[in-house]
Amino acid sequence: MDQSNVLSTITYIDTERSIEAGEMKITQSEYTIHLFEDHLVASTTKFSLDNVWDISYKSFSEEANLLYLHTHRGVVTYKVFENPIKFVRTFKKIKNENY
């Protein structure tokens, strides 16, 4: 992926739970959401910014936040550990320039 046009990024955690040999196994993987001028890419999902209506977040503990993408397919939630305010502000700046 060409990183030169990325306006903002944020790392999110995907948690997978499975049962192996009768015990629960929890695996956490880190991925990055890349915000471009006209689209947003998160691991295997790509959204045109025309289809992302808003981005918001809510803190649910001292070290983690939930980042919400309000899209044409519903709300998509990502668990992030860094403060998402810069990412959200960059998105809102892009959306306001286009309206």
Considering Cα of 77, then 82, then 88, then 91, what sign does the dihedral take?
A: negative
Q: 2 pLDDT band (50/70/90 cuts)?
A: low
| Residue whose C-alpha is closest to residue 91's, from 17, 12, 35 | 35
The mean per-residue pLDDT over the stretch 8-21 comes to 93
CATH architecture type of domain 3-97:
Roll (2.30)
Q: What is the pTM of this model?
A: 0.84
Q: Which amino acid makes up residue 89?
A: R
pLDDT (0 to 100) of residue 1: 55
Residue 92, pLDDT > 90, answer: yes
Can you tell me which residue has the tokens 């998509």? 76
Contact 39, 7 (CB under 8 A): no
Which sequence spans correspond to the domains of the chain?
A: 3-97
